[in-house]
Structure 1
């Protein structure tokens, strides 16, 4: 397990019908902000890569910003598709919110391998391909989960655990590709609602 990256989520009694408007109405104010943040994110990752190449350190302000972007996007995903696991509205912040039902944390690396920035993207290609290949499965599973929520008023724990496993895999790969750790992400899903 990659301890440097922790993605937490739990089923937090979502309403049976609210998911119908979350993604197309309620979450909409987050979308333009996330678009801007994700335009800045790769540029700052390149700047961080140059810094790592020469110093072996990820500049802390850039690290905090980039983790904040991943954290914000995870909270929105936890609120709407693919998770639909909470009705608590995601906060508009890059900062950690341990009280929110979905949270993402990444340990700050005190030292990174200088030369690894030159090969991490290449090394991550198999992981990236797997994550892209899992995307259609993720979409199908989230639709099945949403229909079940509408029909029964509950989210299946098994389906939620599977979705969490896919999401955790994706975020571990994103952290590695974004040069935030040297530990290669494992080829596995960590299922369940725990903090892994």
Structure 2
């Protein structure tokens, strides 16, 4: 079993390539995950509402209410497990649990230290805006899809979606032909997803740690004294242990 774990960061993903993997199960995972998609769609509105309430609280107190933090991080944790099982990674055949909590024995774990102590008032907004280049990079990808739609119509858009889908689900092809998962692609996907998780956590005020601009910089080790303080301090919160 190949293991890939991030160095310490306030937002961390641990992932294990959970082999052996079925050659054909990936073809029906979209159907098996329908209950998860329904549940996560229902959770989307309370997730946004909890994020908005937490923002108001932090504006005046600098604190993210712990119950709201547990809920919002739980939703992100659930989404990540579903993505890891399905076409986001196809790196495990173990069905994801219906849970907002941590599942330590599942092949992937998402950790977010906190709840964080954030700056108040306009300093909170200034801290959020520090990651504007990262937000713009994510938006740029969405704009490319929109541009292709405008210039080429539905057929060009669907072609681009098909190409992107092929790139991200190519492990399925390797599983069919060889029964093995391409480890190099696994490492690349996890690098990208660690970066995306950090950007999302910063966007929703779950951390004030600035995400790196380049995905390959995500997960690098912080100085030891910061690592030790964050992993052993009284504000450990959810996922406060260092990445293994």
- Change in Cα spacing, 1:129 to 1:168, as seen in structure 2 (3 Å) is same
**Correspondence for 2:25:** 18
Alpha carbons of structure 1 residues 138 and 78: separation in structure 2 relative to 1, 3 Å: farther
- With normalisation by structure 1, the TM-score equals 0.88
Q: Where does the alignment leave 5 or more consecutive residues of structure 2 unmatched?
A: 1-6, 143-160, 220-242
State the match for 1:40 in structure 2. 46
2:208 alignment counterpart: 182
Give me the TM-score of the superposition, normalised by structure 2. 0.72
Larger-Rg structure? 2
Deviations 1:136-181 (Å, cap 9, x if unpaired)?
Answer: 7864432222211222111111001111111111110010001011
Task: Give me the whole-angstrom Cα distance separating, in 1, the residues matched to 2:58 and 2:180.
Answer: 46
Between stretches 127-136 and 140-149, larger displacement belongs to: 127-136
SS at match of 2:41: helix
CA change 1:50–1:127 in 2 (3 A) is: same
2:124 to 117, 128, 131: 117
Secondary structure (helix, strand or coil) at the match of 1:16 reads coil
* CA shift in 2, pair 1:120/1:139, >3 Å: farther
User: Aligned residue for 1:161?
Assistant: 187
Query: Does 2:107 correspond to 1:101?
Result: yes
Q: Residues 127, 29 of structure 1: CA spacing in aligned structure 2 closer, same or farther, 3 A cutoff?
A: same
Aligned residue for 2:110, secondary structure, equals strand
Distance in structure 1 (CA, Å) of the matches to 2:171 and 2:213:
24
| Structure 1 vs Structure 2 CA RMSD | 2.3
Q: How many residues align?
A: 193
Q: Which residue of 2 aligns with 1:76?
A: 82
Judging changes above 3 Å, is the alpha-carbon distance between structure 1 residues 110 and 170 closer, same or farther for their aligned structure 2 residues? closer
Give the superposition deviation at 1:117: 3.3
